[in-house]
Structure 1
């Protein structure tokens, strides 16, 4: 089975939840480096040629099968907006794995590998004298092919290991009741922490995953976040047993949520409308 040349690190089915009303295939984008908004075809954003294929590995088909399964649950959730739907443990497990994969499969994570490789290379060159016979090999590192291989291995090894950081959180469905849109980005799994540096396993970390302009999944630290619609409890077991929901009725809440996505993105923020005025003002 031949794989497509353009391989999306953010699935097209997901991006279509944020499509422009004027077309089934257009989405509004904002490039945070050029500070310019533009419209683009969903097929041409958040993708690169043969992104998941290397001489040692090929994950495109495997990832497409996972997307096919998870897309059913995400579409159902976007359509019905029923937070109790998340109490189904199989659905929660499926979405946890999908989010874990989405967190580590993006171009942002590949660039992280490149940047840290150069940092490590610089430290080594300062501390160790490279033997002449290895100098050429050392100068070539990290090559694009090496980085791709490392990233694909990273996706395979860590997607299941990161699963627990999603599944065992307190699940909250945020319903947007304002006139503003939730945004998403080319790195849509965003982490925010009001106290500590953000990290999946860091205490007090919140994970945000916008599903549509009207809906966002929030995963909260169960040790510090009590049920919203029940009496407060210190029991972690009770706290994570049932999903709950929040309604955003204040524009400020939506704006803050969107800015978390902006901080997380690699290059582009996406929205249903071209409503990026707050970004062009800064």
Structure 2
């Protein structure tokens, strides 16, 4: 069955931030409209056919969306219930949650766009390198001679369709192609390749999480964590309070991976060695996490079970001061 509306932040995750369980509504601040609205979770954090790919026969396929929905998202509530027990979490569950967090970081449109932009840049750099070799007169002549020999029909067609083309390329022609301003190339690396590249990164990133320390943070009574349309992120809090997002990537052992699991619990992965630290944190610690969540660049939605929280954190906030979680 065709899946039109693909949620890049799963509804099973967003259910952890509801104020209306029956109608499945949350409060969402939309940075584009500057409005805060009580919103059904099926109306936000989605994009039509986001994970649709082409199968081996070239036909549209929703197998990725179905794999995400049935194979991973369906298990999230069980993992959340396990974490909420506040007890030691077994290795298998830690591995499963790590995969979910890594996938949640990768599957949002912003990250997928980054994969595509990176792929296009790589291909352009390869092409520029090959073109640069043609600045040599002998290499350029050899290439054109080979072209004439291997594909004479196409060569003749170029001559007919391009009156200014003499059958040879000058050094200036090559330089104009290399010049960034004149290199008008449309490179499509293909959605299949973008999604394949995204999925190939899930396990390597998750493996980094498994080897680091896990803070399972519970909000005290009267306080809640908020989330966004990019709920999993890596950040580094500097001594002066400035927060650098994606600071050196997941490989930096002095960075923190932040993932609000629900309004009552948040996971922060940090440190060079594995451990589990579980317990209720202070209101100040909740505020630090919420400020980090809301300060991340390029957000569209801030999401919370409390209107007052999205209203408060929707403002441009200065980064939180460095402080130990307690």
**Shorter-chain TM-score above 0.5:** yes
How far, CA to CA, are the matches of 1:259 and 1:13 in structure 2? 24
Q: Which residue of 1 aligns with 2:259?
A: 209
How far off is 1:153 after superposition? 1.1
1:92 pairs with one of 79, 94, 99: 94
1:137-158: CA deviation from partner (whole Å, max 9, x where unpaired): x54334xxx4533331122211
The structure with more radius of gyration:
2
Residues 118 and 268 (structure 1), Cα distance of their counterparts in 2 relative to 1, 3 Å cut: farther
State the number of aligned residues: 252
1:256 aligns with 2:288: yes
Q: Which residue of 2 aligns with 1:113?
A: 115
How far, CA to CA, are the matches of 2:291 and 2:197 in structure 1? 28
What is the TM-score normalised by the length of structure 1?
A: 0.77
Secondary structure of the residue aligned to 1:243 is strand
How far off is 1:122 after superposition? 8.7
Q: Which residue of 2 aligns with 1:130?
A: 177
How far off is 1:160 after superposition? 1.2
Contact map agreement 1:25 1:42 (CA 8 A) in 2: yes
Secondary structure of the residue aligned to 2:299 is coil
What does 1:1-282 correspond to in 2, within 5 Å? 2-21=1-20, 23-56=22-55, 58-64=63-69, 65-77=71-83, 81-86=84-89, 88-113=90-115, 116=118, 129-130=176-177, 139-142=185-188, 146=189, 148-195=191-238, 197-221=247-271, 223=272, 236=273, 240=274, 242-250=275-283, 252-264=284-296, 266-275=299-308, 276-282=310-316
Structure 1 portions without partners, runs of 5+: 224-235
Contact map agreement 1:175 1:216 (CA 8 A) in 2: yes
Secondary structure of the residue aligned to 1:140 is coil
CA RMSD, 1 decimal: 3.0
Structure 1 stretch 151-160 or stretch 49-58: which is displaced more? 49-58
Structure 2 portions without partners, runs of 5+: 56-60, 133-174, 239-243, 317-326
Contact map agreement 1:9 1:106 (CA 8 A) in 2: yes
How far off is 1:115 after superposition? 5.1
